[in-house]
Amino acid sequence: MMSLTPSPTAILNSLCKEFLSVNVSAILYLMNYEKYGRSTASAQYFLQLANYLGIPVIAWNADNSGLERRASQSSLQLQLAPSLEHQTAAMLSILERYKWHQFSVVTSQIAGHDDFIQAVRERVTFMADRFKFNILNAVLVTKASDLIELVNSEARVMLLYATREEAIHIMTWAREKKITGENYVWIVTQSVIENHQDPPYSFPVGMLGVHFDTRTNSLVNEISTAIKVYAYGVEDYITDKDNANHSLNTHLSCEGAGESRWKAGDRFFKYLRNVSVEGEQGKPNVEFTADGVLKAAELKIMNLRPGVNNKPDWEEIGVWKSWMVKPGEQLDIKDIVWPGNSHTPPQGVPEKFHLKVTFLEEPPYISLAPPDPVSGKCNMNRGVICRVAKEADIENINIQEAHKNETFFQCCSGFCVDLLEKFAEELGFTYELVRVEDGKWGTLEEKNGKWNGLIADLVNRRTDMVMTALMINSEREAVVDFSVPFMETGIAIVVAKRTGIISPTAFLEPFDTASWMLVGVVAIQAATFTIFLFEWLSPSGFNMKATAPSPNHRFSLFRTYWLVWAVLFQAAVHVDSPRGFTARFMTNIWAMFAVVFLAIYTANLAAFMITREEFHEFSGIDDHRLSKPYSHKPVFRFGTIPFSHTDSTLKRYFKEMHNHMRKYNKSSVKAGVDSVVSGELDAFIYDGTVLDYLVAQDEDCRLLTVGSWYAKTGYGLAFSRNSKYVQMFNKRLLDFRENGDLERLRRYWMTGSCKPGKQEHKSSDPLALEQFLSAFLLLMSGILLAALLLFLEHIYFKYVRQHLAKSDQGGCCALISLSMGKSLTFRGAVFEAQDIIRHHRCRDPICDTHLWKVRHELDIAKYRIKQLEKEMEAHGLRPTKRFYFAASNLVNTHHVRSNVVVTNEFLPHLPCDSSFYRTEVAEIETVL
């Protein structure tokens, strides 16, 4: 026998002299001392020494039963007393019986309080498949203020683990905090009840607890059980032939002569752990788990009831048996006296309370609609009744009649109303929904330095909570408490789409710049020069080496360009085709390219030749066109709602912008958005999520939010300072966010009818002139370019042709352009003169006389030529026949068939061809 709190030296000497000297093979450690925490150190030290020496321990200790095993990590200990695991299992069985899903754990600084919390968590996880528990919090109490966390929580069921003396202080503080009343249930462990004699008055009636007998008689009975466990273990060990070489003599010594640890100790412990001792009648055998804990334990369920003279007394009301297979059969409880001497169990959840909730309408968060004029109620899909009139206006009015009057009450619906309903369902409270009287969001007024609107109601404690699209900012957080945000937002800009014109360069947009450069600079040029080169080099084409060109040849470089462009755009115009086979084949290849090119071009052109939607694409609030409004001409018109978060933010950070937009501010978001649609405003600035909702609701999809959000923040529930409801709502908000309820509400309320890319087909309006202006711009550009070419043509004929005719003796210019080559030849001059004569008309008699004189002289010349021919024939000379036109015939326009050059006469050598001379005579006569 040892004292209850021996010194470490005494424990060590006792082991060395009284245990090791007699070769003990197991230690029976039994104690019914329940001064929890006071003998823990010595007990831990003793058990750790036994584990170090390798000596098994068979224990039955009421003080922190099982905790020494956890703390010391002893692997050689058998515990005959019910462990903390058994106690936590019995306590949670009580919660399961009465459907109490949520609870809090309260502990003192008793040894092993962390192990108790861990045991509770492990048991909750084990029971998760059949019953869902929610541990609200775990509170370590050392002073009265530690219970504030419990007061502010929703806990109505508490599991208490502490010593008896610590529990007296905790329950006294709990009574002062009013958490021991009728709606609160406290369930305590064996360490609080102890021997259940003389419970203190500070313990509230209705307290429950788990208990096992720790009296001396029970201890004596457990001694016999411990001896049986040892005896059966020794018997099994000796009868096993494998242990013939492993003696039960430890041969341990503290003097250094023997071994420091018994090698067979672990082997012997396994036999002790596997024994099965007959139990009492009606109880299972005494057996152990792999951890050395009893498989079957029995705990009594105690209830603190009022006794004689209202003195509290612990009374056994049931029993918990761990060996029962079905969970429902483990707990057997009689009638219980519940807290407040009630005969019905508490609900285990917070009692209902009433809140006054203030709001300000802001679709889609809160929308207003008139109630049914007959019943005064709201339809199922139109929300709940809310008061919109001032409190003074309805003092002397019948409330039932007032519900039918929309000037006093309306129906509130929206995201926030659905969220409020969900809060009321989860937390169990009723509420009154009231509109803020001054209709303002809440800003600090410069004149008197006081808050207005929603924030003023909270500051002056005229309401319990504000729930609407109230943005969180530092100024408001300084005077009220906000919950965690339930929606992110920021300051955004909404603008209207306007039907714009088709881009002047729309016909060029099917291909990018590189593609057009490839077609215009590479493909067309390559095709032109290739066709021209093949025509030049082809044997059947135009041969530059020939002394005389073909009389009917009509091909040049410019005509090749004309051919290439005509084929490319499939123009129905007259073209001159090459004669060479290779050049013609290359022309067909180019035609195939043109077909593919035009197919791709026209297929994509329709996508670009459509009406473009134009809008003011601001980058954000800090766009210089908004932040410095007078830097842009004309000045943009934009506004917001006065006394809102947006207004106060712009006033603080963008003073010039705020001063400019005052005259454009609107009283409501709807008025501001309508002004943007009608063109009265260029932009409207407000909360991002609200504007996104309104944009989605626009069936015509005329609205658009532009730029990035500024001053990103969130919407939150607002409470008065130090409100007890903040943590309660915060926890539920986080749960709603985690389980997806917030996201489901957002999708339901934020979805609109405008869905870009999925709009219904609508009949097209007739196109205005500005919508296909690009075609006219293209035509105008062509006219201007043609005028420029006409000017260059005049410059050429007046100044350049004379000089070029002198230098172009070989006809190279005709190789490039037939028209240019014709203008440089004699025949070109002839036909130019023919054209002048053909189109000449006299305007006076003198001109007619002169013209008659010229014709008369030509007729005389003709007569003289005939006379000369006759004289030559008389002398035996036969002149060559010549064909010529009379001057009178040249004047008649119907004899002039064409002024187009049909041959190329560029060489100085004159061929012997009668047709050439006939033409030459006609040209001379014409010139004359």
What b/e string do you get for 118-134 counting C-beta neighbours within 10 Å, with b at 16 or more? ebbeebbeebeeebebe
Q: CA–CA separation, 336 vs 315, rounded Å? A: 10
* β-sheet bridge partners, residue 60: 30
* Contact status, residue 352 vs residue 430, Cβ threshold 8 Å: yes
514 vs 509: CA distance, rounded Å: 11
* CA dist., res. 870 & res. 876, Å (int): 10
Rounded Cα distance between 442 and 372, Å, is 32
Q: Cβ(36)–Cβ(191) under 8 Å?
A: yes
Please state, in angstroms and rounded to a whole number, the distance separating the CA atoms of residues 188 and 210. 7
Q: Residue 2 has what DSSP assignment?
A: -
- Tell the burial category of 806 from Cβ atoms under 10 Å away from its Cβ (0-12, 13-18, 19+): exposed
Instruction: Please give the structure tokens belonging to residue 653.
Output: 């950070």
Region label for 556, one of left (φ > 0), alpha (ψ between -120 and 50) or beta (otherwise): beta
What three-state secondary structure class fits 389? Answer: coil
Tokens of 182: 């009728």
Rounded CA-CA distance 179/204 in Å is 10
Phi then psi dihedrals of residue 274, to 5 deg: -95, 5
DSSP alpha helix (H) spans, 211-324: 216-239, 265-273
**Which residue's entry shows tokens 């061809």?**
913
Contact 175, 203 (CB under 8 A): no
Q: Which residues face 354 on adjacent strands?
A: 430
Provide the 3-class DSSP secondary structure of residue 476.
helix
Show the tokens assigned to 296.
């079957």
Q: How far apart are the C-alpha atoms of 740 and 21, rounded to whole Å?
A: 69
Ligand-binding site membership of 646 (annotated)? yes
Phi, psi of 512 (to 5 degrees): -80, 175
Residue 485, preceding peptide bond in cis (omega within 30° of 0): no
* CB-based contact 206:303 (threshold 8 Å): yes
Take residue 13 and report the two structure tokens written for it: 């000497």
Dig out the tokens for 456 from the structure.
Answer: 């003023």
Distance from C-alpha of 716 to C-alpha of 487, rounded to nearest angstrom: 7
CB burial of 346-381 (b: ≥16 within 10 Å; e: otherwise) equals bbbbbeeeebebbbbbbbbbbbbeebeeeebebeee
The reply to whether 476 sits in an annotated binding site is yes
CA distance 553 to 542: 7
| 551 within 8 A of 903, measured Cβ to Cβ | yes
The answer to whether the bond into 634 is cis (omega within 30° of 0) is yes
The tokens for 326 are 């079905």
Judge whether 672 and 641 are in contact, CB under 8 Å. yes
Residue 637: strand, helix, or coil: coil
As given in the structure block, the two tokens for residue 430 are: 């009723």
Q: H or E stretch including 672?
A: helix 669-678
Bind-site residues for L-glutamate: 476, 646, 687
Bind-site residues: 476, 646, 687
